[in-house]
């Protein structure tokens, strides 16, 4: 079954440890951690020091999404901070192969992300060397934005490409995932679903994650 990765961007930052424990208890599969530098995206979040301290608070795998320029400068620190996955943006990486290999050399799984307007063809050459393709379905920078519906065909095209070129690569979808659209996103080919505001903005995390998992587990209805 597909995995749910709550994004702590929408959590109550004054109680981050408790919020993480709460989504872990509620059935989250991974923790999505958004790193923003105020350059690649118009927002700022946290650095490796805070990620390292959160590492002691949960057993959930850390899915670290770097929305930063010059990501190669920070791979070592985020690996040491306890990342299980590190994803860099193709738009921010001048030497993508080098960065992907740097991530893998640290024993961390390597992801590459595409902004909504960036074509899939840009990652085609590197697919056999990565573990994860992250498809942004909002323009990165903020939680709580609306899913760009035109991204569904891009997810489906990525799935077809991966099936042919690198079947082990997982597809993660990030941005605007809700109870309303999660099933169609999964049907298009997503393996990992990031959910920020739809989880942390809900009254009951266990109910929301449980409802997401039921929708994902429901059989496909054909008429």
Q: By the criterion CB under 6 A, which residues form the site for ligand DX5? A: 7, 9-10, 32, 34, 65, 138, 140-141, 143-145, 174-177, 194-198
Which residue has 């079947």 as its token pair? 167
Which residue has 């809900």 as its token pair? 202
Residue 2 or 10: the one with the smaller Cβ distance to ligand DX5 is: 10
Catalytic residue check, 204: no
Distance between CA atoms of residues 140 and 86, nearest Å:
16
Residue 177 or 188: the one with the smaller Cβ distance to ligand DX5 is: 177
Q: How many Cβ atoms are within 10 Å of 97's Cβ, its own excluded?
A: 12
Q: Is 154 a binder of Zn ion (CB under 5 A)?
A: no
Catalytic residue check, 34: yes
Residue 37 or 174: the one with the smaller Cβ distance to Zn ion is: 174
Distance between CA atoms of residues 93 and 96, nearest Å:
5
| CA-CA-CA-CA dihedral for 99, 41, 172, 133, to nearest 10 | -30
Tell me which of 19, 29, 34, 131 binds Zn ion, using CB under 5 A.
34
Q: Which residues pair with 170 in a beta bridge?
A: 132
Shortest Cβ 172–Zn ion spacing (Å): 9
Q: Which residues bind Zn ion (CB under 5 A)?
A: 34, 65, 174
Residues with a known catalytic role: 34, 174
């Amino acid at each position: 079954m597909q995995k749910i990765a709550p994004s702590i961007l929408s959590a109550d930052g004054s109680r981050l440890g408790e919020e993480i424990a709460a989504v872990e208890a509620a059935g989250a599969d991974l923790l999505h951690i958004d790193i923003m530098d105020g350059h690649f995206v118009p927002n700022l979040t946290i650095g490796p020091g805070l990620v390292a301290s959160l590492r002691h608070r949960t057993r959930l795998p850390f899915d670290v999404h770097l929305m930063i320029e010059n990501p190669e400068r920070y791979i070592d620190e985020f690996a040491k901070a306890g990342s299980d996955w590190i994803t860099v943006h193709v738009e921010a990486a001048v030497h993508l192969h080098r960065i992907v290999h740097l991530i893998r050399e640290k024993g961390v799984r390597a992801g590459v992300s595409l902004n909504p307007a960036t074509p899939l063809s840009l990652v085609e050459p590197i697919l056999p060397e990565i573990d994860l393709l992250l498809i942004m379905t909002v323009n990165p920078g903020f939680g709580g934005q609306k899913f760009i519906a035109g991204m569904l065909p891009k997810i489906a095209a990525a799935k077809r490409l991966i099936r042919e070129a690198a079947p082990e690569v997982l597809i993660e979808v990030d941005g605007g995932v809700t109870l309303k659209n999660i099933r169609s996103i999964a049907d298009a080919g997503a393996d990992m679903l990031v959910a920020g505001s739809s989880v942390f903005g809900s009254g009951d995390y266990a109910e929301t994650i449980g409802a997401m998992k039921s929708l994902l587990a429901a059989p496909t209805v054909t008429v």
